[in-house]
Amino acid sequence: MRWLVCRLGLRRRKKQSNMDLKKSVQLINKIIVHCTATPEGRDVSTQEIKRWHVQGNGWSDIGYHYIVELDGTVHEGRNVDRTGAHTLGHNKRSIGVVYVGGCDEEMNPLDTRNDAQKEALDNLLSQLLEMYPGATLHGHNEFASKACPSFNVQEEYQHLINE
């Protein structure tokens, strides 16, 4: 697997990125945002998440297509041409994006995104919505009885949804 690592552009209005996203050969109609459900500030790497999914769950690969780490770096996970493993019943035709965090120290849901993660997510989601016209943006909690991603995706990204 090839790991694509980059820091997304810092200019929010221009939505610039030096990340060269690959467009899926699949028809994509949903982009679903997740959190790792880990405590605020805990540095979890893409490789660690992959271990959870492969060794812990017995999956063939990491379930998410894109991972936003604590420093705002975006990593490519599962190849976008492969169906993800991130939202039961909604994996086909969707892209799974996860940010590291989402819980307080007691493991209660909390929006723990820092400025770098917020900016990286904004830019990544903007690019994905451009790449997949007609795709809708969702939080995992819209499809499951979970708090994930620990914030309201529809409210947070209204500016992207209305573009």
Taking Cα atoms as reference points, which of 21, 77, 74 lies closest to residue 48?
77
pLDDT of residue 20: 82
- Active-site residue, from 30, 90, 148, 157: 148
The pLDDT of residue 10 is above 50: no
| CB-based burial label for 103 (10 Å; 0-12, 13-18, 19+) | buried
- Active-site residue, from 64, 66, 99, 157: 64
- Active-site residue, from 53, 65, 86, 140: 140
Q: Would you call 34 a catalytic residue per the annotation?
A: yes
pTM: predicted TM-score of the whole model, two decimal places: 0.89
Of all residues in the chain, the percent with pLDDT exceeding 90 is: 86
Kind plus residue range of the DSSP H or E element containing 46: helix 46-51
The first and second tokens of residue 108, run together, are 């209660």
pLDDT of residue 161: 87
DSSP code string of 143-154: TSSS-TTSS-HH
- Active-site residue, from 30, 34, 50, 65: 34
The first and second tokens of residue 152, run together, are 């309201």
Span 125-145, mean pLDDT? 97
Q: Model confidence over 47-67: pLDDT tens digits? A: 999 999 999 999 999 999 999
Q: Model confidence over 94-130: pLDDT tens digits? A: 999 999 999 999 999 999 999 999 999 999 999 999 9
CATH fit for domain 26-136, picks 1.10.490.10, 1.10.1200.30, 3.40.80.10, 3.40.1360.10: 3.40.80.10
pLDDT of residue 4: 43
pLDDT of residue 163: 67
The pLDDT of residue 162 is above 90: no
Q: Would you call 53 a catalytic residue per the annotation?
A: no
Q: Would you call 64 a catalytic residue per the annotation?
A: yes
Q: Model confidence over 78-89: pLDDT tens digits? A: 999 999 999 999
Q: Model confidence over 21-49: pLDDT tens digits? A: 999 999 999 999 999 999 999 999 999 99
- Any idea of the CA torsion for 1, 135, 120, 60, to the nearest 10 degrees? -20
Q: Identify whether 149 is preceded by a cis peptide bond (ω within 30 of 0).
A: yes
Q: What are the sequence ranges of the domains in the chain?
A: 26-136
